[in-house]
Amino acid sequence: MSLPERLFFVDTTLREGEQFASARFTSTQRLAIAEMLDAFGVEYIELTSPAASPQSARDLATIARRGLRARILTHIRCHMADARLAVEHGAQGANLLFATSEPLRTVSHGRSLDEILAEAQQVITYLRDHDVEVRFSCEDSFRTDLADLIRIYRAVETMGVQRIGLADTVGIATPRQVYEVVSAVRAEVTCDIEFHGHNDSGCAVANTFCAYEAGATHLDVTVLGIGERNGIASLSGMIARIASVDPDRVRRYRLDLLPKIDETVATMLGIEIPFNQCITSPTAFHHKAGMHTKAVLADPRSYEVLDPNLFGRQRTIAIAHRLVGWHAVAERARELGITLSEAQARAAAARIKALGDEHDLDGAMIDEILYSYAE
């Protein structure tokens, strides 16, 4: 199965990611993150609004001047004061948003759709006059009436934006719904489409992938998926999702840098890489149960849809536990230079299982058992 060719990652670790509970990146850390993402090859890096704090504004200017290959975006309200700050601090692109759903229109900003469009016209014109790439997003798109969404996107396209954005701000959308809504919008505009999906109900990666299949060109991600509440689609998650369907789509990225990127940001946040993180979790390529290890030893593709070597990772096979099988035991014996008959390997596996029922095991204990067959 091949996937659409137009694919751009908008990494928003330095904006959405800064909204994560334990994030407070220093200027040095912000720059380090931007440089790692640039080396990886993301096409866009989104930074916190320069209106957010004086240091955020200074860091936007520093990173925008750095000469990175990635385009430096800032995420701002659809507001002239914010737009002026974006221009003054050298942002190459502005990701504008306005909440359009009924619940958010009421409590977030109180504007009608007509008022939103009037403000958008002024801000978009100003930014385009200053050569800034503009994206306009309807915050909370999936609780916004589809007719309202289409009306707004058509209007802002006429105003000159390069891209429109759909955001599942509260993580409520289902993959099928994302596919349908993005397809409907795709049919109404010719500009690029960005998608931003939250993970409140566990669908961030699935929804972002469905948006891509339906015609979204720009996919929002953060390192480890950090963001407000429990975050958005992770960079590793999207790479895994796409690579397992169509590896050609992601060959242009420095995939081997992913483990280092995730590890560095996790350390900055004071957290571990989550056990279920695609690609970079310590156990992402770890095989344990006997039926799995037998097959993986014969052909890793049996239980691996991704090749760990692509990401600078190595597979590991666990044998110090009671779910072990004789094939894995025989393989470990071979590594130690001991040749076991099938009967011996089965007997050794049975011994390991019995011991594993009694207490925790480690590699040294298993090797000791195997050496006893060499005597």
Ligand X SMILES: O=C(O)CCC(=O)C(=O)O
Ligand Y SMILES: CC(=O)SCCNC(=O)CCNC(=O)[C@H](O)C(C)(C)COP(=O)(O)OP(=O)(O)OC[C@H]1O[C@@H](n2cnc3c(N)ncnc32)[C@H](O)[C@@H]1OP(=O)(O)O
Rounded distance, CA 11 to CA 121, Å? 27
Q: How far is the CB of 148 from ligand Y (least distance, A)?
A: 15
Residue 328 as a binder of ligand Y (CB under 6 A): the answer is: no
Does 123 contact ligand X by CB under 6 A?
Answer: no
Question: What are the beta bridge partners of residue 220?
Answer: 10
Contact stretch for ligand X (CB under 6 A) within 25-33, 151-159, 165-173, 203-211: 165-173
Cβ proximity to ligand X: between 56 and 169 the closer is 169
- Cα–Cα distance for residue pair 282/76, rounded to 1 Å: 36
Let me know if 218 is a catalytic residue: no
Q: Which residue is nearest to ligand Y (CB)?
A: 77
Q: How many C-beta atoms lie closer than 10 Å to residue 76's C-beta? A: 25
Site for Zn ion in 2-61 (CB under 5 A): 16
Interaction of residue 228 with ligand Y, rule CB under 6 A: yes
Which string of DSSP letters, residue by residue, matches 250-261?
GTTS-GGGHHHH
End-to-end CA distance of the chain: 54
User: What is the Cβ-side half-sphere exposure of residue 151, based on CA atoms within 13 angstroms?
Assistant: 11
Beta bridge partners of 47: 74
Stretch of residues binding ligand X (CB under 6 A), selected from 49-57, 164-172, 184-192, 294-302 = 164-172
Out of 89, 198, 292, 327, the active site residue is 292
Q: Pick what 137 binds: Zn ion, ligand X, ligand Y, none; C-beta below 5 to 8 Å, kind-dependent.
A: ligand X
User: Which residues within the stretch 8-37 sit at the binding site for ligand Y (CB under 6 A)?
Assistant: 19
Cα(8)–Cα(148) distance, integer angstroms: 26
State which residue, 82 or 313, has the beta carbon closest to ligand X.
Answer: 82
Site for ligand Y in 123-182 (CB under 6 A): 139, 169
47 binds ligand X (CB under 6 A): no
Min separation Cβ 122 and ligand Y, Å:
11
**Smallest gap from residue 356 Cβ to ligand Y (A):** 48
Q: Under the criterion CB under 6 A, does residue 169 sit at the interface with ligand X?
A: yes
Q: Which of 11, 82, 139, 200 binds ligand X (CB under 6 A)?
A: 139
Break the chain down into helix, strand, coil percent, rounded to 5.
50, 15, 35
Q: For the chain, give the number of residues.
A: 375
List of residues 6+ apart from 21 with CB closer than 8 A: none
Q: What are phi and psi of 272, to 5 degrees?
A: -90, 155
In angstroms, the CA 68 to CA 2 distance is 30
> What is d(CA 237, CA 256) in angstroms, rounded to the nearest whole number?
14
Q: Provide the minimum distance between the beta carbon of 250 and Zn ion in the complex, in angstroms, as a whole number.
A: 23
Cα(308)–Cα(300) distance, rounded to whole angstroms?
10
Query: Smallest distance, Å, CB 165 to ligand X?
Result: 4
Q: Smallest distance, Å, CB 198 to ligand X?
A: 6
**What residues numbered 59-78 form the site for ligand X, per CB under 6 A?**
75
Count of alpha carbons within 13 angstroms of residue 209, beta-carbon side: 21
Judged by the rule CB under 6 A, the positions of this chain that interact with ligand Y are: 19, 49, 51-52, 77-79, 97-98, 108-109, 139, 169, 228
Note the residues at the interface with ligand X (CB under 6 A).
16, 75, 95, 97, 137, 139, 165, 167, 169, 196, 198
The site for Zn ion (CB under 5 A) is made up of 16
Catalogue the active-site residues: 292
